[in-house]
Amino acid sequence: MKIGIFGIDSIQPGKANVKDDRVDALAKMFNSGKKVYIQADLITDREKIKEADGIICPALNKDDLIISDMEFVDLRLERSSDEAEKKLMARFKDHLDKVKFLSELEISAEEAKFIAGYPLLTVKPVYLAAAEEVADRDKLLPPAYAEFGYISYFTAGDKDSHAWSLKKGANAWEAAGCIHSDIQKGFIRAEVVSYTDLISAGSLSQARNNNKISLENKEYIVRDGDYIVFKCNK
């Protein structure tokens, strides 16, 4: 996933781990050789930030985000000869004047498609970070990741303990595809146990003995913290 960084000069662009203590605990339980966290691509370039899935901004800089969008909207109102666009921009301007993000405004699928290439920032999910979060990237990224509508599910074994990223509301079949297309194509079922139940049990076998593992089909909606073993045809 791509995360735009707005107004935080101390964070450098590039790949960054979204640290998760659950990966550490699973690695300890399974004696895993490697830990694999969710990775985010951090974007700081103002020209490229429009490509981000969501934006992190210090709470104190909220108005700067809105001003950035207002400047673009005013420019389009001045230059556009398209009446439909001018009507849409006027609606955007009215909303921004109320110091509200455009993500809070109901935008139709057709309108979203129309503005897809525009450098509007507040149409995206925005995480407003507290001052203490801004100072620590490891504390900053996890809550922003969740705010942007993502969850994490896990696989683990002696090779690695791995966190996988998934949009909230996605099903087990989609989760299988995140790992490998062959697992998705050959999907039979998913063995699922919550992270909490697995850690409480102390081992996967004990979780099974405790009847905490459920067998799910491809339509199962994955929950944050699920530990999943996919069964598939090879």
Which residues have a Cβ under 8 Å from the Cβ of 182 and sit 6 or more positions away?
A: 232, 234
Question: Domain map of the chain by residue range?
Answer: 2-146, 169-232
Q: What is the pLDDT along the chain (234 residues), one digit of tens a residue?
A: 999 999 999 999 999 999 999 999 999 999 999 999 999 999 999 889 989 999 999 999 999 999 999 999 999 999 999 999 999 999 999 999 999 999 999 999 999 988 988 999 999 999 999 988 998 999 999 999 999 999 999 999 999 999 999 999 999 999 999 999 999 999 999 999 999 999 999 999 999 999 999 999 999 999 999 999 999 987
- pLDDT tens digit sequence for 78-136: 999 999 999 999 999 999 999 999 999 999 999 998 898 899 999 999 999 998 899 89
Provide the angle, in degrees to the nearest 10, between the axes of the packed helices 62-79 and 83-96: 160
What is the CATH superfamily name and number for domain 169-232? Beta-grasp domain (3.10.20.30)
